[in-house]
Amino acid sequence: MSSAPIGILGGTFDPIHYGHLAIAEEVRVALRLDRVLIIPAGEQPLKIGKHMAPPEHRLAMARLACADNPLFEVSSIEVDRPGPSYTHVTLQLLHDQGLDNLYLILGADALADLPRWHETPRILTLARIVVVSRPGASVDLSVLSQIFPALPERLILIEGPRLDISSTDLRQRVAQGRPIRYQTPDAVVAYIEAHGLYR
């Protein structure tokens, strides 16, 4: 028998926002997941060299944003590991902990990155991929399915709430002194202010 179905939402969460929380909830309900693990990347391999808030801050904001939902669990499994945060390593570690029914949640923009990820075929054996729609991102499976023949049978497409919120935009807004309230929980807004992030 396989273990309870668990969603995995990885990202830089720089900062976490309602777009992330809304897709996690959408997938949790649609697939009747037991819970969703929110996993901030330590070092995101595809964003190396880009300025990012330190992992402790991104983790703390994720914890604040998820504090009122017992079915969202923030994991430090990637922040605690030195070096680049490869998803296949994280999934293997979770699998070794007995979690063998994993659903890796991706926004539609992130799906297109699969060819640039490490060990994508391995990822497809360790988890099903759940792709959620995102404004401005279209899903083109033809090329991806040629590169990864196992993808179609491991893929679930979910129509999400299509919130047009991105961390990039929130960082720019803070830098420009514009508001981010109502795009991320109040506790995250307060944390960003208290620590002077993104100025």
Can you tell me the distance from the alpha carbon of 122 to that of 115, in angstroms, rounded to the nearest whole number?
A: 12
Q: Min. distance of Cβ 13 from ligand ATP in angstroms? A: 5
Smaller CB distance to ligand ATP: residue 5 or 135?
Answer: 135
Smaller CB distance to ligand ATP: residue 152 or 161?
Answer: 161
* Interface residue list for ligand ATP (CB under 6 A): 11-14, 19-20, 23, 106-107, 109-110, 132, 134, 160, 163, 165-168
Smaller CB distance to ligand ATP: residue 1 or 48?
Answer: 48
Contact (CB, 8 A) for 66 and 40: no
Contact (CB, 8 A) for 131 and 104: no
Q: Min. distance of Cβ 137 from ligand ATP in angstroms? A: 7
Instruction: Tell me if the bond preceding 15 is cis, omega within 30° of 0.
Output: yes
**What are residue 37's DSSP bridge partners?**
8, 73
Pick the closest to residue 9 from 168, 33, 48 (CA basis).
33
* Amino acid symbol at 132: V
Q: Min. distance of Cβ 105 from ligand ATP in angstroms? A: 7
Find how far residue 31's CA is from the centre of its chain.
17
35-40 and 6-11 as β-strands: parallel, antiparallel, unpaired? parallel
Smaller CB distance to ligand ATP: residue 49 or 98?
Answer: 49
Q: Min. distance of Cβ 166 from ligand ATP in angstroms? A: 4
Smaller CB distance to ligand ATP: residue 94 or 106?
Answer: 106
Find how far residue 128's CA is from the centre of its chain.
14
Pick the closest to residue 81 from 90, 91, 73, 68 (CA basis).
90
Smaller CB distance to ligand ATP: residue 1 or 166?
Answer: 166
Q: Min. distance of Cβ 1 from ligand ATP in angstroms? A: 29
Q: Min. distance of Cβ 133 from ligand ATP in angstroms? A: 7
**Residue nearest to ligand ATP as judged by C-beta position:** 107
